[in-house]
Amino acid sequence: MKPASNPCTIGWQSRWLRILLIVPISLIVLMAASVMPAIAASAAATSDAVYQQRTPSRDGIGKFYLDREIAEVMGHLGAGWLERPSRDREEQPQKLLAALDLKPTDAVADIGAGTGYFSFRISPLVPQGKVFAVDIQPEMLEMLTAIQQAKQAFNVEPVLGSATNPNLADASIDLALMVDAYHEFDYPREMMQAIVRALKPNGRVVLVEYRGENPLVLIKGLHKMTQRQVRKEMAAVGLTWLETKHVLPQQHILIFGRERT
């Protein structure tokens, strides 16, 4: 007589079936378990390698890029300061405009345009060209658009950018200008990489920053930059330093071009 089968044991066919299924599944789980930490570690290493988070100082966000703490963004409530009557005398913008060597057909991106203080001064210098006035604060762009309508400056196009992207088409601009803005970028590496993509082959990048080397320039520390730091950060995205112009009373004008291949 055939003995009754024990319900606590499994027959040999299903045992083999389980072994056949369990072995490869276990191998996959083991491999995933060994690879996942490596993937996670490499992702963390990549972001750690670019930015580091530390205790924020008074005017900073506590995020460091190439040994520099990134400054807080100047909010739209500070727009009045950008349009202050004394600015022309203090900063002498005509000297910067002359230093830009613009052609009438140039497409210029004024990145971190604020109220458009520079966008509207550049606009008449590029009558057959264009000014893309990029900012991340919609309130700034609202003010800029109101001024644009009042001035009928139709070659100025307001562009809402994001913290990582100025939203400019590839190979579309002759000049990317950042006046007193770059030190506030939350993601300087990503922003600059996108700006480099937006440059035409002979396009230039111009940074205007208050002189970090000079303690007599009475601007908060994180809102100033040294030449050395600017050049280090531009080199990190493949830009070549061409020239520094020393024509402004308080600010550096640093000019960069795309690296020749």
Ligand X SMILES: C[S@@+](CC[C@H](N)C(=O)[O-])C[C@H]1O[C@@H](n2cnc3c(N)ncnc32)[C@H](O)[C@@H]1O
E-assigned strands of the chain?
A: 51-53, 60-65, 68-71, 107-111, 130-135, 156-160, 173-179, 199-211, 224-225, 239-245, 251-258
Which stretch, 101-109, 134-142, 225-233, 237-245, contacts ligand X (CB under 6 A)? Answer: 134-142
Site for ligand X in 114-133 (CB under 6 A): 114, 117-118
- Give dist(CA 230, CA 145) in Å, integer: 31
**CB of 112 or CB of 129, closer to ligand X:** 112
Site for ligand X in 142-161 (CB under 6 A): 161
Here's the x/- map for ligand X, 70-99, by CB under 6 A: it reads as: ---xx-------x-----------------
Residue 192 interacts with ligand X (CB under 6 A): yes or no = no
Residue 69 interacts with ligand X (CB under 6 A): yes or no = no
**CB of 69 or CB of 184, closer to ligand X:** 184
Residue 191 interacts with ligand X (CB under 6 A): yes or no = yes
Which stretch, 39-47, 48-56, 178-186, 238-246, contacts ligand X (CB under 6 A)? Answer: 178-186
Measuring CA to CA, which residue among 55, 51, 62, 74 is closest to residue 219? 74
Residue 102 CA, chain-centre distance (Å), reads 24
- Give dist(CA 199, CA 171) in Å, integer: 5
* Count of positions on this chain that bind ligand X (CB under 6 A): 23
Residues β-bridged to residue 178: 207
CA torsion sign for 69, 75, 204, 160 is: positive
Rule CB under 6 A: choose which of 185, 224, 233, 256 binds ligand X: 185
Joined together, the tokens standing for residue 86 give 């004394």
**CB of 136 or CB of 156, closer to ligand X:** 136
Q: Minimum distance between the CB of residue 29 and ligand X, rounded to whole angstroms?
A: 43
Joined together, the tokens standing for residue 221 give 């520390």
Residue 108 interacts with ligand X (CB under 6 A): yes or no = no
DSSP assignment of 42-55? HHHHHHHHHEEE--
**CB of 189 or CB of 258, closer to ligand X:** 189
Chain residues binding ligand X by CB under 6 A are: 73-74, 82, 111-114, 117-118, 134-137, 140, 161, 163, 166, 179-181, 184-185, 191
